[in-house]
Chains A and B, each alone.
Chain A
C-alpha cells in the first residue's frame, strides 16, 4: 500500500524511484562497459558511473518525495516538482480513457502506472507512476465511478469477454501486413545483393533493424489482445513484456474505422480502430502517444468487427449509397469502394482502393459540418461533405456526391445532428 501523507494526500509507491532509476542503470552499464572494453583508466570510469547512478537515484527519490495525489470530490489532484511546483487538477467528468501500464520491471516488482486521458489537454496524459498493482485497479474503478457520476465506493463491475486475439493469427496478419511484406521484399533483395557482392551486407543492417523494431513493437503491444465489456466501459488488454489495460468509458468514442488492406481482404480479415477525443499533439518521446487511434481489434473477421462495432454503437449501421458514376473522373481509384450514407444516429462512409476504410461517426459527436467543392467538382456537379469530430484523425467524409444531393444531405444532417445532440 502507498504510505499515507497528511490530509488525504497520498504518495506514490515507495518502490517507484527504483523503477524510474532502474531505467537509467542499463544504459549507464552499457556505456561504462563499452568504455572499459576500449581500455583506459577503469577507476575514473567507475567513479563517473557511480556518480551518474547516484545522481539518477537522488533525482528519482526527490521526485518521489515531492509528488503526491488525492481525489477531491470530482477532481483528481496531482502535485509534483521540487523547484517548479506543478499542481494539476483533473476534472473527472472530462476523463476520456484510463490506462494501466505495466512495464516488464514493474511486473517483477508488482507496480503499475495509471494514465488518464483527457479531452483538450495540451500536457499529454496525466500519470501516476507507480502504484501497487491492486491499488491501481481500485483507484481506476473509483475514478471511473466518479467520471460516471456514481458514488466513489462503487466497486469495479464484472466484465463480459467479447474478443480475444489468438497469437498465430497476430503473427500471420503481421506477416501479411505492409510491414511483413516490406520485410520479405527486403530479405529477398538483401540475399540477392549479398550473393553478388558480399561487402554490401552492411547497407542492409539499418533497415532490417528498423523493421524488426517496428514489428517487435507491434507484436509487443498487440500480443494476447483481449476486449471485454463492463458497465463502466470497454476494457482493452494486451502486451507481451509490457502489458497495458485500457478502459474507454461509454459515450467517449468519437468515430470507428474498419480498415481492410488488400492482402487481408483475401483472408477476410480487417482491423477496427476507435478514435477518442484528444489534442493532436502529444508529448514527444511518448511511444504510445504516437498511436493516434487505438485498435479495438488488431485483426479479426468482418463478423467479429461488426459485432464489436455494434457494442460501441448499439444500433444498426445505416445503409450507404454510391456516388454518381461521373465521380470516377474526379476520384478514379477511390471510386471503387466509394459510398456513404446516414440515418438519424450515425453516418457511414467507405473509401480507399488498396486499403478499404469504412468510417462510422455517431451524429451526436459531430462538431461541425463542411461542404467543399473544388473546381473539378464544380464542373462535374459534385460536392464533398465533411463531418468533423473531436477525434484525433478519423472523421466522416461523404465524398463526391451529386451537388443537389449534397445540399439536401447537408440540410438533413444539420437537423439530424441537432436532434442527436439533444437526445
Chain B
C-alpha cells in the first residue's frame, strides 16, 4: 500500500488516539465478553465434567487472545489529521476507511463518553455534517484533547460555514 497522507501512512501531522485505549479494550473484553464463558467452564468443572471444562477454558482463552490482537490492530489503525481546511480520519484494519470532512461542512460536534471510557478519562468526538452517510468519529481521546478538538472544530466550522 502507498504510505501517503490519505490512505493511512506515517506522514507527519497524523495524531494517534490515546495509548490507554488498549487497556480500555482489554478491560471491556474481560468484563463484557469473557464472564459468560468463564462461568460455563466453572459450572462444568463443578459438575464434574473436568475435560469439557478444560476445553471451554482453553477455547475461551484462545478466542479472547485473538480478539484482543484484532482490537490492538484496530487501535493502531485509528488516526486523525487536522489540516488547514479539513479533518482527515482513518480507521479500520479489515475494511480500511479514510474520511475527509471539510470544516465548512460540519453541522455540529459531539463529545460522548460511556462509563468505560469515562473511567479511563477518555472520550469520543463525533462529527456531523448534513449528509447522513458521513461517519467521522474519533474514539479514545484524552478528555482534554477531546475538548480541545471539539472547540477547535466548532470554531473552524463557524468561520468556514458553507450553505447547503
Instruction: Please tell me if B136 contacts chain A, counting CB pairs below 8 Å.
Output: yes
Binds A, one of B31-39, B46-54, B58-66, B126-134: B126-134
| 1/0 contact string of B61-98 vs chain A (CB within 8 Å) | 00000000000000000000000011000000011111
Instruction: Please tell me if B159 contacts chain A, counting CB pairs below 8 Å.
Output: no
Contact B132 A280 (CB under 8 A): yes
Contact B99 A369 (CB under 8 A): yes
A370 interface neighbour in B7, B130, B135, B162, Cβ under 8 Å: B135
Contact A371 B134 (CB under 8 A): no
A374 interface neighbour in B95, B100, B162, Cβ under 8 Å: B95
Nearest B residue to A415, CB-CB: B85
Contact A372 B6, CB 8 Å, known A390-B130, A390-B131, A395-B133: no
Interface residues of A in 88-119 (CB under 8 A from B): 94, 96, 119
Distance between Cα atoms of A368 and B85 in the complex (Å): 12
Give how many A residues have a beta carbon under 8 Å from the other chain's beta carbons: 37
| 1/0 contact string of B107-144 vs chain A (CB within 8 Å) | 10000000000000000000001111111100000000
Contact A370 B129, CB 8 Å, known A407-B4, A407-B6, A421-B102: no
**Residues of A contacting B: mostly:** mixed
Give how many B residues have a beta carbon under 8 Å from the other chain's beta carbons: 29
Contact A418 B85 (CB under 8 A): yes
Residues in B with CB closer than 8 Å to A375 are 94-95
Instruction: Please tell me if A16 contacts chain B, counting CB pairs below 8 Å.
Output: no
Nearest B residue to A278, CB-CB: B130
Residues in B with CB closer than 8 Å to A390 are 129-131, 164
Instruction: Please tell me if B101 contacts chain A, counting CB pairs below 8 Å.
Output: yes
Contact B105 A369 (CB under 8 A): no
Nearest A residue to B133, CB-CB: A388
Contact B7 A414 (CB under 8 A): no
Contact A368 B7, CB 8 Å, known A378-B96, A404-B2, A417-B102: no
Interface residues of A in 341-395 (CB under 8 A from B): 365, 367-375, 378, 383, 386, 388-391, 395
Contact A371 B86, CB 8 Å, known A120-B130, A280-B132, A390-B130: no
Contact A418 B102 (CB under 8 A): yes
Residues in A with CB closer than 8 Å to B130 are 119-120, 277, 367, 390
Nearest B residue to A413, CB-CB: B100
Nearest B residue to A420, CB-CB: B162
Instruction: Please tell me if A403 contacts chain B, counting CB pairs below 8 Å.
Output: yes
Contact B96 A410 (CB under 8 A): no
Residues in B with CB closer than 8 Å to A368 are 99-102, 105, 129, 131, 133-134, 136
Residues in A with CB closer than 8 Å to B85 are 418
Residues in B with CB closer than 8 Å to A365 are 164
Residues in A with CB closer than 8 Å to B164 are 94, 96, 119, 252, 254, 277, 365, 390
Nearest A residue to B4, CB-CB: A407
Distance between Cα atoms of A367 and B100 in the complex (Å): 9
Distance between Cα atoms of A99 and B95 in the complex (Å): 43
Residues in A with CB closer than 8 Å to B95 are 372-375
Distance between Cα atoms of A74 and B95 in the complex (Å): 47
Residues in B with CB closer than 8 Å to A378 are 1, 96
Residues in B with CB closer than 8 Å to A120 are 107, 130
Contact A407 B7 (CB under 8 A): yes
Instruction: Please tell me if B22 contacts chain A, counting CB pairs below 8 Å.
Output: no
Distance between Cα atoms of A369 and B164 in the complex (Å): 16
Distance between Cα atoms of A378 and B93 in the complex (Å): 11
Contact A410 B98, CB 8 Å, known A368-B105, A403-B1: yes
Residues of B in contact with A (beta carbons under 8 Å apart) = 1-2, 4, 6-7, 85-86, 94-102, 104-105, 107, 129-136, 162, 164
> What are 19 A-B interface contacts by the 8 Å CB criterion?
A96-B164, A119-B130, A120-B107, A277-B164, A365-B164, A367-B105, A367-B130, A368-B131, A368-B133, A369-B99, A369-B100, A370-B97, A370-B100, A370-B133, A371-B100, A373-B95, A375-B94, A388-B131, A391-B131
Known: A368-B99, A370-B133, A374-B94. 10 other contacts (CB 8 A): A252-B164, A280-B132, A365-B164, A367-B130, A368-B129, A370-B134, A373-B7, A373-B95, A391-B131, A418-B86
Residues of A in contact with B (beta carbons under 8 Å apart) = 94, 96, 119-120, 252, 254, 277, 280, 365, 367-375, 378, 383, 386, 388-391, 395, 403-404, 406-407, 410-411, 414, 417-418, 421-422
Cβ-closest 10 pairs across A and B: A390-B130, A367-B131, A388-B131, A367-B129, A371-B98, A369-B100, A388-B133, A368-B134, A368-B101, A373-B96
